Chains A and B, each alone.
Chain A
Amino acid sequence: MADAELLAAGRPQAHNLDPARSFQGLILALQQYWASWGCVILQPYDMEVGAGTFHPATTLRALGPKPWNAAYVQPSRRPKDGRYGENPNRLQHYYQFQIILKPSPPDLQELYLGSLRAVGVDPMLHDIRFVEDDWESPTLGAWGLGWECWCDGMEVSQFTYFQQVAGFECAPVAGELTYGLERLAMYVQGVDRVYDLNFNGLDGDKKVTYGDVFLQAEREYSKHNFEVADTAMLFEQFKMAEAACQKYLAAGWQDGKREVHLMALPAYDQCIKASHVFNLLDARGVISVTERQSYILRVRELAKACGEAWLATEGGGR
């Protein structure tokens, strides 16, 4: 245990996990909180996605009648938001903390406020506000109503009652909470530049910052996303993912009848893939305004078909 002693300067310290001191402490506090309410704590989905909503645990599980309560961190890739590590707030890769509760519980707002208390935001000291923000994802064929949650004028979460996903009415409605983890951490740590966030909660030369972990990646991926990503390959990949998705969807219908589906999840993976490839092409600036709309529609068609397939699976509550 010599290494461990070296890191923790003697022995493990609880305050290293104080959400106001460490990024990972914030994540752990949120996980702890939502786990204590009975959420399934999942690990990130192992594919590139633009937002936590794309995780099948949200997109697909929000459909159908079965109750579902889950929480997870999801690394989110927004190729266009890369700033070569030079902007204090913008990243092409960041973390979302995602909660999905189906059906939406009657005290969802109170539960949410409890999670803020759990990470050290005292609503008697801060100005917490629910400001109208209707959510819509054209690529997922989804929309909902809710708010952006403000803490002292800073948007720290999105709060949405899903009404429709993949073109299907949500029955029952699921509540979705999305915390922008870096932003929330910057708030509780009192830091103005994301790369200055304390990641591990230690001090001095033991301290690991967000920049230590991610700055190099931000620089490299920004160059990749904007300048070098192989567009010929990406166009090809988009077509392949689209074709594969359609193929798996077609092959998944049991006995060729549109009643029971056996392969919604693998098909949906290809939909996610197509969406991310599209985002990369978009960042490379090779998709014109008019084409853009048609790509979005193509992904939406895939998402809708996957939603339909999911509703015909046992997991989807057929």
Chain B
Amino acid sequence: MREAVSNAAVTSKASRDEQAARIPYWDLVRRKVRSVKTDVLEHLDEYLVEFEANCQANGIKVHWARDAASAREIVGGIARDCGAKTVVKSKSLTTEEIGLNDYLAANGVDPVETDLGEYIVQLLGQIPSHLVAPALHLSRRDIGRLFADKLGEAYTEDPGELTEIARVHLREKFLTAEMGISGANFGIAGSGCICVVENECNARLTISLPKVHVAVMGIEKLIPDIAALPYFLKLLPVSATGQRASSYVNIIGGPGRDGAGEGPEEVHVVLLDNGRSKILADAQLRETLMCMRCGACLNTCPVYREIGGHAYGWVYMGPIGSALIPQYLGEKEGCCAPSLSSLCGACREICPLEINIPRHLLKLRNKVVLAKQSGLFERIGIKLWAFAAARPRLYRFVTWFPGKLQMLLPGKRAFPAPGYMGRRAIGRFDSKGFARRFRAMERNKNDG
């Protein structure tokens, strides 16, 4: 698993770097996109109202979901109304966030993931391990064994053959599903339409084949107008997979028209809050809502590539995940996520929107401490240390001990430190310390 994650992350980053280097105006586009998103977040209420009005004018039904439970009920209600027994889904982490699949299954509706990575992960009963490549942690051998076990197919490791197996199984679902569910990469306020970007064409089939389509979209995904879209479409595929462009760009502007015979008869958008407006209220942390889920931060993160996505414990992972988890799940459940970082800043460097993730993680660590969710020993230790460090004579007294105690250790050993033991040593305390050595040096200089 570790090798799969590491290789995939490193390769994705290398592709992204290569493509980004070929775009001389990369920084200009980044700045443009950032200013668009800043404006959207500052006036989100107005843009949402505009979006709803324009969607409705296009024949799209708009629903507002305050939280996950409310969103699930809305989608469940639409499925009930159209008598859906099978639902095909294109990749949507927002629907994972609200636990939609389990809810549908419990209510007699079979949700089938059609993105190949999501399909694989669904068969395994796991959650995705990457924002963009859900099955990145698996090798082709893992997938070959899975298809042999769960689908009754002959074992193969060949990626082409594996894809063909999935295609045949999924095609049947596409043709029989009564409803399709997607996420949305962007909601275009000025035009009242939704943009879904993909590489496999499964989203296109999910949207256009079944009679009813539902798009679940976080409220932060809005952009003002279609003129802004190309800038986002330039940054997203390059940052995500090092592609110059996504294979497919779908824009849903309403149900199929004029008996053209294409497209769903009914289109719904579910606008999801689920904590987003609370994040929006924080002038610093609202920047985390700009995320376009490209996954570049995951691919560059030295922590992610060692531990993989499941270690974060939720559907949003990696650097941006560390910042989102405590904001969505609270300081208690999300107490560890912001600490899963050495604050190196590689994520901020690669982020197309330059989201200052380390700064947000520091603030969230402080929120965890203020909510009294940090360890008791740590709290006591730090308070004692801070008390001493503000009082130089006490500090000198306290730090005198380790140097002396160290002399009791055999040979030239250093103290056994947590985290270091058995792996490498921390430094040895110097017997005199800088201040005394400096003063000695000065005395010699003056005498000599």
A and B bind: no
